[in-house]
Amino acid sequence: MNPPHEPYRYEMLIDGRWIEARDGRRYGRESPAHDVAVGDYPLAGADDADLAVAAARRAFDEGPWPHTRGAERARFLGRVAELIRAQAEELAYIEALESGKPIVQARGEMESAAGLWEYAAALTRQLHGDSYNTLGADMLGLMLREPIGVVGMITPWNFPLLIISQKLPFALAAGCTAVVKPSELTPGTTLRLGHILQEAGLPDGVVNIVTGDGVPVGARLAEHPAVDMLSFTGSTEVGRHVVAASAGNLKRVALELGGKNPQIVFADADLDAALDAIVFGVYFNAGECCNSGSRLLVQRDIAADLREAIVQRSRSVPVGDPLDEATKVGAIVNQEQLDKILGYVAAGQQEGAALRLGGGCLPTERGRFVEPTVFDAVTPAMSIAREEVFGPVLSIITFEDAAEAVRIANDTMYGLSAAVWTRDVDTAFGVGRGVRAGTIWINTFMDGYPELSFGGYNQSGLGRELGRFGIEEFTELKTIQLHLGPRTNWWHRPGVNDNGHVERVSPAES
Ligand code: NAD
């Protein structure tokens, strides 16, 4: 498989039409593995974002999407899943070209993305509120779930189609409309998804896709007064900007942010299984992964042996051309990210960690590839133990017992995920309950299912995606109180309650 001779050329989707940016500007993207042009996109400005928001607003306020029957929305989402599957090979190719990830892995992501649309289709007809038939003979209480409105969605470059599929089908299932801003580095498959949505029969304006930089396009969505909710996946640093920008209209903000995720390995674990999960956990997607298991916490007794086994196993991990079917670790997404990774390697050495493997680039003529890298003698205070490297760099820290493991695991501003490796059920659950993270894997790593919600504690996020909670995030709750039959309880009616009758005071009146 080779990169294309010509870059793919895209337009963006606003109100059902494929258009250029208003001022006609465009930009290009080279494959980080091959250094050849693979994509050419409109470079939108804030006014393009405004147009897209206006279209989504109209589609929400005038309908029909928010009021279509669940059955119809479910059929639509199911058709999208089928179309993603039918086009998976080309989608995976585009994803591999733009991001530098292995084609084999990209194919798996397309299948997972289709599964998310399918799951959201099933959820559509399950969305419901609550009712109270316990308020007395003359009162019925209803809690309705309504779509929250126009949702701005901002996504990162590392799993483009998968991450938009964690948001968009759930928002559409709830009856929302959307403006999507994919990462400027990897917008291709999100734009292709726009064509799929149209082919599946989505009304104009329900989903709009605007390509361009975080500032101004993402920033405009975050501050826009006509956007009701912002769903953001990206770095914790930009997440903070998004929260600040959203304060103007106090829109709801959902955040999926970074992580510094520990895999905690006890001496009694199945060490062969743990070893495989350790190298998978840190080298998967070249470490450019929010769930990267970049911190390895190992019980002291087995640390030296496990480190040797990791170094040996790491030497044989195939790194190289993402279009080669045998590749497990592809290219680093751009020069800026490469410099950042190499900066952390240098910092690790300066701060006194021991570099046991790698630490440099592969000597290739084209593209940028980082060697699998292993540090040990890492202490919790070092930057490689605290900060998101976002590269194939493992930091090994040792611990004595479960209490110390939990303390080290929690010594971070993040709280996205963690793994515990042990055969002892008390240790597994004790540590699992002690670690403050949104997902705990026990004797496994980085599995995911549409049924199971995902999100971060601490500065790894706000809110949850996926699962049944994933659709509820895109709804507002409306309380309806319905009085039945003739009125018997009066606040002031001369001659009726001026005789010592106790007045009703409800929480809403107090
Ligand atoms: P990023 O924060 O740099 O960018 C994310 C998106 O935000 C991009 O579309 C970008 O254009 C946009 N953006 C940038 N500045 C903005 C601003 N001021 N206002 C609004 N939007 C703005 O992140 P990235 O480098 O694309 O992705 C890597 C980060 O994403 C890592 O920190 C990773 O951990 C995180 N991530 C988290 C999850 C999760 O589910 N928790 C999943 C994947 C990636």
Q: What digits encode the pLDDT tens for the residues 197-217?
A: 999 999 999 999 999 999 999
- Does residue 187 line the site of ligand 1, with CB under 6 A? no
Q: Quickly state the pLDDT bin for 371 (edges 50, 70, 90).
A: very high
* Beta partners for residue 145, in sequence order: 477
The Cα–Cα gap between 510 and 508 comes to 6
Q: Is the pLDDT of residue 425 over 70?
A: yes
The Cα–Cα gap between 291 and 304 comes to 25
- Does residue 44 line the site of ligand 1, with CB under 6 A? no
Q: Quickly state the pLDDT bin for 488 (edges 50, 70, 90).
A: confident
Percent of the chain with pLDDT over 70: 97
Structure tokens of 382? 């070092």
Q: Quickly state the pLDDT bin for 501 (edges 50, 70, 90).
A: low
pLDDT, tens digit, for every residue of 234-258?
Answer: 999 999 999 999 999 999 999 999 9
233 CA distance to ligand 1 middle (Å): 5
H or E segment to which residue 373 belongs: strand 373-376
278 CB-contact burial (10 Å; exposed 0-12 / middle 13-18 / buried 19+): buried
154 CA distance to ligand 1 middle (Å): 8
Structure tokens of 4? 């294309």
Q: Whose CA is nearest to atom 39 of ligand 1?
A: 256
Say if CB 155 and CB 163 are below 8 A apart: yes
137 CB-contact burial (10 Å; exposed 0-12 / middle 13-18 / buried 19+): exposed
Q: Quickly state the pLDDT bin for 364 (edges 50, 70, 90).
A: very high
How confident is the model at residue 489, as a pLDDT? Answer: 79
The Cα–Cα gap between 423 and 126 comes to 38
Q: What are phi and psi of 506, to 5 degrees?
A: -95, 160
Helices (H) and strands (E) in the chain, counts: 15, 21
CA 457 to chain centre: 14
Peptide bond into 64 cis (omega under 30): yes
Say if CB 106 and CB 158 are below 8 A apart: no
Mutation choice for ligand 1 from 99, 116, 184, 233, CB with most ligand atoms inside 8 A? 233
Reported pTM:
0.96
Indicate the residue type of 36. Answer: V
The Cα–Cα gap between 150 and 116 comes to 21
Q: Which positions are annotated as active-site residues?
A: 256, 290
Q: Is the pLDDT of residue 369 over 60?
A: yes
- Residue 122: other Cβ atoms inside 10 A: 14
pLDDT, tens digit, for every residue of 448-486?
Answer: 999 999 999 999 999 999 999 999 999 999 999 999 999
421 CA distance to ligand 1 middle (Å): 30
* Beta partners for residue 9, in sequence order: 40
H or E segment to which residue 173 belongs: helix 160-174
The Cα–Cα gap between 161 and 92 comes to 9
Which of 387, 253, 375 is CA-nearest to residue 307?
375
- Residue 76: other Cβ atoms inside 10 A: 23
